[in-house]
Amino acid sequence: MADEEDIILRDLSDSELIEQMHDDLYDGLAEEIHEGTTILLERGWDANLILSDALVEGMRIVGIDFRDGILFVPEVLQCADAMKSGMGLLRPILADSDTNSSVGTYVIGTVKGDIHDIGKNLVGMMLEGAGFEVIDLGINNPVENYLEAIDKHKPSILGMSALLTTTMPYMGVVIEELDKRGILKELPVMVGGAPLNQEFADAINAHTYGRDAAMSAELAKTIVGRNI
Ligand code: B1M
């Protein structure tokens, strides 16, 4: 990024900077998002607020134009990279747990056919902040990956993320398989992602529906008995 842009960002008021960051995220400018996030942190902004007001809100705007055919996949990929450059700075803060020992192990992954990972990564960060050891399986996970991870890590909770209406039914496939193998009665499953709701989670027999990252971390603590 040019120094000139640096100076401009620093000269902006908080609200102007937030708006500029929405524009920069839209334009996929990773360095500018990194810089904007740094400035807000230096000004004492809470990491959660930077996440919601600057980054998630910016991505919401991107989503509208993506839906309307104004932005296309290559552009939105750049937006995602820009978002991740800001998240990278917030990660150590959000994931900084005040508990020394792990409250439990949480295996999380995006389901088969789905490559969206920003929301999943956020949930993972919040879980780490809540004291969980997070095993992240990444994206595009078939049922075998979840089974293997359950066998290997013996998690307290299994989490699945899906961002597409075409991939969310696959969560039901995984849950059915867990049920068939007698795992479901012992392993709480949390599902989440923008197209989901409680009704869908109930319909596929998921233990819990996580609406957003912060709520999911709270729910996870409740499940392992750390919120009571
Ligand atoms: Co995609 N995409 N995308 N995309 N994309 C959506 C989801 C879409 C709604 C855009 C739109 O049309 N408005 C639409 C889905 C429509 C539908 O299913 N009905 C869509 C589409 C259609 C597609 C493609 C099919 C486009 C194409 O190729 N023609 C394609 C599919 C690829 C695939 O997966 N097979 C595709 C591709 C992509 C990119 C690769 C370009 C990129 C992803 C990059 C990446 O993730 N690394 C991308 C992006 C960025 C989006 C939007 C714009 C943003 C998603 C996001 O990161 N949001 C999205 C539009 C939108 O959602 N507004 C869109 C920010 C994030 C913080 O929120 O992920 O919702 P979210 O996570 C939240 C909660 O949902 C929750 O907590 C998070 C934090 O609060 N949560 C959980 C999520 N997982 C959870 C798990 C939990 C608990 C809570 O427990 C385990």
Ligand 1 pocket member 58 (CB < 6 A): no
Give nearest CA residue, ligand 1 atom 68: 119
Ligand 1 pocket member 66 (CB < 6 A): yes
Give nearest CA residue, ligand 1 atom 89: 192
**Cβ-proximal residues to 137 (8 Å cutoff; 6+ apart), any chain:** 107, 108, 109, 110, 145, 146, 149
Per-run averaged pLDDT (10 residues), the chain, 228 residues = 62 97 97 97 96 94 95 95 95 79 92 97 91 96 98 98 98 98 97 98 98 93 79
pTM above 0.75? yes
**Cβ-proximal residues to 24 (8 Å cutoff; 6+ apart), any chain:** 32, 33, 36, 58, 82
Is the separation of the CB atoms in 29 and 55 below 8 Å? no
Q: How far is the CA of 226 from the centre of ligand 1 (A)?
A: 30
User: Would you state the pLDDT for residue 98?
Assistant: 66
